[in-house]
Amino acid sequence: MLILGVSLMEIEKNKIYWPIDHLRMDIRELIDGIPVGVALISPDLRIHAINRAMESLTGFNRKEAYGVPCRYIMKNNLCTRECPARNILAKEDQISTEGDIINLARQKVPVIINLSPLKDHDGKPIGVIETVEDISLVREFDQKIQGPSNYHNIIGHSPQMEEIFKTLQLISQTDSSVLITGETGTGKDLVAEAIHLSSMRAKGPFIKINCGALPENLLESELFGHKRGAFTGAWKDKRGLVEEAHQGTLFLDEIGDLNPLMQTKLLRLIQEGEFKPVGSVVTKKADMRFIAATNHNLKEEIEGKRFREDLYYRLNVIHLELPPLKERKEDISLLSYHFLKKYTRANQKEIIDISLAAMQALLSLELPGNVRELENIIERGVIFCQTNTLEMKDLFPNNEHKTPYPCLDEDIYRLSFKEAKDKMTHEFHRHYVLSVLRKSRGNISKAAAMACIQRQYLHRLMKEEGIDARDINLKCE
């Protein structure tokens, strides 16, 4: 293993072996000169030494870190499941992986972690050397060049979604209950799964139950399990979803539809981590994170005595309100191209674009079904489309929707600026500019030439209409 040009063999040659009561000064200087964090960990998984880079990364100085279990100094999402240092000592192997550590200021830092065993002259493992490299700038650069935000398959670049992404990153290393609210089709289930996948329980199960989809008499058995003979048809013992979710995440969708009796039993589970299968007298324990979602206004449900207030506050430790698409119109274009790519592949077609008229129609829709409704429209369009561009007739084959900009059905880029302006309303500028930019593949000089206007004037129009690179969806990659 090489640590930026310094091999473990070279370090071992300088007689780093346990017990290291007095780490040699030249060895200290050696590891201090390495520009990534380095920690020497003893067989009982305590910090023996760290270098300057590790001090800067974690916020702990070497005196504070000395003798402290490594999981408290280099807190990361790997420690909660299976200690990598312990595995190194047992298997005498090497590990290289990406993860996140939480520093002394409670900030999450993305890092590359490398661990390798330190061995004595007989080849026996006597400790672990760990290097931690901060890749925050790399992650930040990747996000910028990727364009649209994408957090565990949740897509959006609107200010509202960027705030959601920031919140998800902050809560990922906690184990607190989360309540997700929002209209139907806003992606509450995707957000719940994203929380699980970025959490300390990511290797555990993610179990989902729709509280409104099952009859009341079956919901308790489905959630908590049952014993043989507990009711008619219970011919054998059955594990419930709570037991399946042990050491993972339990997602309770449509929590507002839960009946009062089940609310009481769920409250006990959240407060005490205990439950009883139907027909059993034995109390069982369960360890899990709770995420709940609803499109109901739970405060109104509480006022109407239909939902327990104490259960609400147990679930509502962290609250995420997902905005409807009508409040983040700028995400419609991104989502449309994402779904176009998805269903073009699924249907083995070669559709690479969405016409401007079709896109304007999508932007003008109310979309009460939000992201789910938009996805269905694009999927239908891909099925009907016979060319390489999704048109109005593909999205709305029965003419159930008319674009408010009829001129956009034409090849508008064939017109000069003056000719096109004479045919359209005061809303002309934005749609014309988008059209020529799309036709020119985002080349502003070519777009200005098409429009027969000066490049500077086109720049001014773009500025006035708030058009930037993210508004120009040219191709579906």
Is-contact 421 428, C-beta < 8 A? yes
Residue 10: per-residue pLDDT: 45
341's CB contacts (< 8 A; 6+ apart) are: 476, 477
Distance CA 108, CA 282 (A): 41
CA pair distance 115, 317, nearest whole angstrom: 36
For residue 90, give both structure tokens: 């047992």
Asked whether residue 217 falls in the same domain as residue 275, the answer is yes
Which stretches of 83-232 are DSSP H helices?
84-91, 136-146, 159-171, 188-197, 216-224
**Is the separation of the CB atoms in 358 and 351 below 8 Å?**
no
Q: Cα–Cα distance between 431 and 465 in angstroms, integer? A: 10
Rounded CA-CA distance 206/247 in Å is 9
pLDDT in tens, 209-231: 998 888 877 888 889 988 887 77
pLDDT at residue number 412: 54
Residues of the chain with pLDDT under 70: 1-30, 77-82, 92, 138-150, 399-429, 468-477
pLDDT score, position 234: 75
- Contact call for residues 77 and 108 (beta carbons, < 8 A): no
The domain in which residue 247 lies consists of: 147-322
Tell me what pLDDT residue 408 has: 47
Looking at the structure of the chain, the number of domains it has is 3
The whole-angstrom separation of Cα 257 and Cα 173 is 29
436 lies in some domain: yes
Identify residue 234 by its one-letter amino acid code: A
DSSP H or E stretch at residue 211: none
Q: What is the pLDDT of residue 236?
A: 85
- Same structural domain for residues 255 and 389? no
The CA distance from 39 to 129, in Å, is: 6
Question: How far is residue 408's CA from residue 360's CA, in Å, rounded to a whole number?
Answer: 9
The pLDDT value given to residue 5: 38
| Cβ atoms 476, 352 nearer than 8 A | yes
Tell me what the pLDDT averaged over the chain comes to: 80
The answer on 266 and 189 residing in a single domain is yes
476 domain residue, yes or no:
no
Domain end call among 121, 138, 155: 138
Contacts for 185 with CB less than 8 Å, ≥ 6 apart: 369, 370, 371, 372, 373
Residues 152 and 201 in one domain: yes
**Which amino acid, 288?**
M
Cis peptide before 19 (omega within 30 of 0): yes
The pLDDT of residue 209:
92
The pTM of the full predicted model, rounded to 2 decimals, is 0.58
389: domain CATH number is 1.10.8.60
Q: How confident is the model at residue 13, as a pLDDT?
A: 44
Q: Do residues 318 and 176 both lie within one domain?
A: yes
